[in-house]
Amino acid sequence: MATIRPFKGIRPIEELASKIAALPYDVMNSEEAREMVEGNPYSFLHIDRAEIDLDPSIDVHDKKVYEKARENLDRMIEEKQFIQDEKPCLYIYRQIMNGRAQTGLVFCASIDDYINNAIKKHEFTRADKEQDRINHVNYCDANTGPIFLTYREDEVTSEVIKQWSKEGTKRKPVYDFVSEDGIGHQVWVIDNELIVKEIVALFGEIENLYIADGHHRSASAVKVGLMRREENPNYTGDEEFNYFLAVAFPDNDLMVMDYNRVVKDLNGLTEEEFLNKVSEKFIITEKDEQVKPSDKHTFGMYLENKWYLLEAKEGSYNAEDPIDSLDVAILQNNVLTPILGIEDVRTSDRIDFIGGIRGIKELERRVHKDMKIAFSMYATEVSDIMNVADTNQVMPPKSTWFEPKLRSGLFVHKLK
């Protein structure tokens, strides 16, 4: 059962919310982050990517970066650019993209739920990325970025949450703005103790929460909590370090976009040889237009200025296996590895990945610029992620691309 808890959120004053809210730290590099904050001293990237306030030559993992992050956060709190709610609250965070809304509940999740697998995972994490966020959380003494969770929608729970933020009520959002990428952001504070208790109890009936995005942040937050437990052997379990910041959206609200592939070469094959090999496992149909797959087990392929539709043949995958039946696995197991010779997509320099938010034209552009072939994918579904997590397996690399991205800086959870 899911354990959630209200907290005294540290959040921006209303007039600065749109300036403080920033994309998560891991969707850009340092150079991009420096460009994004030009003219905006309030951006949360000054905390999440504090190296942007130091000399560009500095190692992003230098101790000075984490000290600067803490300094910036403490300063913004002292200067009252952030405020803290006086009592523990829950929060509603709604995002609107192209007229489509997703409504999540902001709370603190239990590190014990993570350890006991009540919060399920579907990705491996890397030690170096974990250590970076461990240092960041530890120095800031705070969870600065929310973990993106999902759950199988429960109508009663969703109705209670949505009633609080329903149009026409006297409860107005504390934040209501559109970010530079056109995404709308609205936040409500649930400060009614009876409603808070009701929602906490309703989530207690939900069997599992699932990490949609933020595996490194969640693993790091949990490890910091465990470190604090070692430092405080008489801990009671009620301390803030036993919990981490999260936003949970019902699965039916979420949109997973396609995560497409481009490859530099045909592994020494001619175009004819390559197509012959692909035809052993796929039905190939040449098309006069761009191919954006509309069904599972179908793929678009762009090669030599031509688009093709690939349809996986029977026997090219195991329909009963939650991993083998994923489109990313079908492409990997039948094309990328055996034909193109790409064994590990995480480490190969011959392959790149393009989020569906960039559009099909970006695949053509990359092939014309520096790649040889592109594959457009059918988007992985949230149910696929849950099915894999339920079997305690992991998704193949680069399987999911969630949009819109959660903004950091709207909520901060202090560990003391």
Averaged pLDDT in 10-residue chunks for the chain of 416 residues: 94 98 93 95 98 96 98 98 98 96 96 97 91 97 96 87 76 94 96 95 94 95 98 96 97 93 98 98 97 97 98 96 96 98 93 92 97 97 95 91 94 96
Residue 356 belongs to what domain range? 259-378
The verdict on 148 and 297 lying in the same domain is no
The verdict on 268 and 210 lying in the same domain is no
Tell me the pTM: 0.91
Say which CATH number the domain at 304 has.
3.30.1760
Going by the DSSP 8-state scheme, the letter that residue 251 receives in this structure is G
Q: Which residues contact 98 (CB under 8 A, 6 or more apart)?
A: none
pLDDT score of 308:
98
Angstrom distances, CA of residue 318 to CA of 50, 123, 294, 322, 390: 46, 21, 21, 9, 18
Buried b (16+ CB within 10 A) or exposed e, 366-383: bbeeebbbbbbbbbbbbe
pLDDT score of 168:
60
The verdict on 117 and 214 lying in the same domain is yes
- Residue 167, in any domain of the structure: yes
> For residues 389 and 150, what is the distance between their CA atoms, to the nearest angstrom?
12
Q: Is 408 helix (H, G, I), strand (E, B) or coil?
A: strand
Continuous H helices in 151-236 = 155-164, 193-203, 215-231
> For residues 398 and 400, what is the distance between their CA atoms, to the nearest angstrom?
6
Number of domains present in the structure of the chain = 2
Residue 220 and residue 126 in contact, taking contact as beta carbons nearer than 8 Å: no
pLDDT score of 303:
98
Angstrom distances, CA of residue 86 to CA of 6, 11, 110, 122, 147: 12, 12, 22, 36, 23
The verdict on 287 and 199 lying in the same domain is no
Positions of E strands within 356-396: 373-376
What value, to the nearest 5°, has the Cα angle with vertex 50 and ends 121 and 40? 110
- Residue 384, in any domain of the structure: no
How many beta carbons lie within 10 A of that of residue 316, not counting itself? 16
66 phi/psi in degrees, rounded to 5 = -70, -35
For residue 404, cis peptide bond before it (omega within 30 degrees of 0)? yes
pLDDT score of 73:
98
pLDDT score of 96:
97
The verdict on 133 and 250 lying in the same domain is yes
The verdict on 232 and 290 lying in the same domain is no
pLDDT score of 166:
78
Q: Is 320 helix (H, G, I), strand (E, B) or coil?
A: coil
- Residue 383, in any domain of the structure: no
The verdict on 248 and 180 lying in the same domain is yes
CA neighbor of 93 nearest in space, from 84, 101, 81, 85: 101
> For residues 12 and 24, what is the distance between their CA atoms, to the nearest angstrom?
16
The verdict on 47 and 110 lying in the same domain is yes
The verdict on 100 and 213 lying in the same domain is yes
- Residue 370, in any domain of the structure: yes
